[in-house]
Amino acid sequence: MCTVNIQVDEALLRDVMPELDSTAAIRLWAQELVNLRIQELLNEDEETMDIEEARTMVHETIRKEYMHSIAF
Residue 5 lies inside a defined structural domain of this protein:
no
Q: What is the pTM of this model?
A: 0.59
Residue 56 lies inside a defined structural domain of this protein:
yes
Per-residue pLDDT of 24-69, as tens digits, reads 999 999 999 999 999 988 887 666 778 888 889 899 888 888 776 6
Would you tell me how many other CB atoms lie within 10 Å of the CB of residue 27?
13
Residue 28 lies inside a defined structural domain of this protein:
yes
Q: Domain range holding 62?
A: 10-71
The structural domain count of the chain equals 1
Residue 65 lies inside a defined structural domain of this protein:
yes
Q: Given this model, what pLDDT does residue 66 score? A: 78
